[in-house]
Amino acid sequence: MDWDSVVDALGEDGSYLLARLLLVLLILVITWLARQIVTAIMPRLVKRFTQRTETQIDDRIVEALRPPLRLLITLFGFWAILLVLEPSEALSDLTNRVMTSLVTAAIFWALYRGADLLIDLFQLVSQRTTRTAAPLIDDKLIIIVRQIGKAIVVLLAFGAIMEAWGYSMSGLVAGLGIGGLAVALAAQDALANLIGYFVILADNPFIVGEYIVLSNLSGTIESIGFRSTRVRAPDQSLVSVPNNTIMTANVTNWSRLTKRRLDMTLGLSYGSSPGQVLSVVQAIREMLQNHDLVQADSVTVQFVAFSDNSLDVMIICFMKTPAWADFQAAKQDINLKIMDILAERGVEIALPSTNVIIEQPVPTVERPDMQLVTPPKPEPTVSTAADSPVPDDAAN
């Protein structure tokens, strides 16, 4: 039984149907082969481009992209089969919309799975290129960016699928714009604080546990929230500062110091001779340059001014330790050594004093032509009967 006899037995319609069935089988075989090729070849191609990396990034790429690619190949295969079967016009229109929606969903599914991979790559690169890492803040920022990225992919997928079904998204976008404007006007402060939160995370001026000075507030950062940042003040009170305030304020981060500056003025008494002052200056300079915690090339010690009560010696240098306790201990050691230097050279520290000048009164000089005039004494008063409080009949 040959092919011609089969065709004659089936007739023209039967031959056409048989040809379409064979084409459908061929499409199924091609689809299956394409899926197998993607499964086998894709890992090799990815490893070829990522063979120089020391991470498992190639496995992550294959894990993220292989399922969507296999789904896309399957969808295109079934779409080709539907075209071969030649459905009616109404069914063809419905089929095209359904397949377009499914293909769009598969593409955005790949983007959705690739968002995690892209964010992880960005985090890996930032950790390698940033010397001072802030793990807590970076982790929060990565979580937020990951959620926002996935939400954007879902919204775009929804809009693309709605457009495939003939629904215009312009009205929805306009409605969202009006609603967003109303919400923004009603919750302006809340939105400003939320924006300030993202600014703090992106700019990274501080992390939890660091000591900062913010305008008239200083303390240790305890938490960073969507609305406010909580600061533990030195008196152990907890202060909540709106993120919008922090976003526009000058923040001094004392926890990120690499060294501390020592700046002091030493007042010597005016009884010190020039030789003694110069000897003290040189001795203090040498002592600081040889100190273990002092940066030698930053030492400046000079006799700079004649003050009201002292001869001022300026002492400036940088300490190698950023720790506040170590800095205070080093200051104490330096002060004690300065006292020894002054005692060895017999130089005293000037004490604040005030000179009070009391002027003597000018003595009175008598002139010959001046006579002392004595005022007249008052005459004694003579009481009369009219003035007496005793009646006349009682006197008699």
Q: Residues 6 or more apart from 97 whose CB is under 8 A from it?
A: 164, 165
Q: Which two tokens stand for residue 143?
A: 């979580």
> Taking a C-beta distance cutoff of 8 angstroms, is the pair 313, 283 a contact?
no
How far apart, in whole angstroms, are the C-alpha atoms of residue 16 and residue 12? Answer: 6
Domain with CATH 2.30.30.60 in the chain: 188-255
pLDDT score at 57: 62
Closest CA to 95 of 75, 109, 72: 75
> Taking a C-beta distance cutoff of 8 angstroms, is the pair 66, 74 a contact?
no
pLDDT score at 182: 56
Closest CA to 227 of 246, 212, 208, 210: 246
How far apart, in whole angstroms, are the C-alpha atoms of residue 160 and residue 218? Answer: 51
How far apart, in whole angstroms, are the C-alpha atoms of residue 305 and residue 314? Answer: 9
Q: What is the pLDDT along the chain (396 residues), one digit of tens a residue?
A: 454 554 455 455 566 666 777 777 887 888 888 877 777 776 666 666 555 555 566 666 767 777 878 888 888 887 777 777 777 777 777 777 888 888 888 888 888 887 777 777 766 665 555 444 444 445 556 666 777 777 888 888 888 888 777 776 665 555 555 555 555 565 677 778 888 888 887 788 888 888 999 888 899 999 888 788 999 998 999 999 999 888 888 898 888 888 999 999 999 999 899 999 999 999 999 999 999 999 999 999 999 999 988 999 999 999 998 888 899 999 999 999 999 999 999 999 988 777 777 777 766 655 555 555 555 665 555 544 444 444 444 443
Domain with CATH 3.30.70.100 in the chain: 260-345
Q: Which two tokens stand for residue 210?
A: 């660091």
Question: Buried b vs exposed e over 330-342: b needs ≥16 C-beta within 10 Å?
Answer: beeebeeebeebb
How far apart, in whole angstroms, are the C-alpha atoms of residue 112 and residue 30? Answer: 28
User: Which CATH number is 188-255's, of 3.40.50.2300, 3.40.50.1980, 3.30.1360.200, 2.30.30.60?
Assistant: 2.30.30.60
How far apart, in whole angstroms, are the C-alpha atoms of residue 321 and residue 222? Answer: 24
> Taking a C-beta distance cutoff of 8 angstroms, is the pair 38, 44 a contact?
no
Per DSSP, helices labelled H in the chain are 3-49, 57-85, 89-129, 135-164, 170-186, 188-203, 243-247, 274-289, 324-345, 392-395
> Taking a C-beta distance cutoff of 8 angstroms, is the pair 166, 94 a contact?
no
> Rounded to 5 degrees, what angle do the CA atoms 75, 81, 83 make?
105
- What is the C-alpha end-to-end distance of the chain, expressed in Å? 190
pLDDT score at 23: 78
How far apart, in whole angstroms, are the C-alpha atoms of residue 208 and residue 220? Answer: 8
> Taking a C-beta distance cutoff of 8 angstroms, is the pair 25, 80 a contact?
no
Domain spanning 260-345: CATH 3.30.70.100:
yes
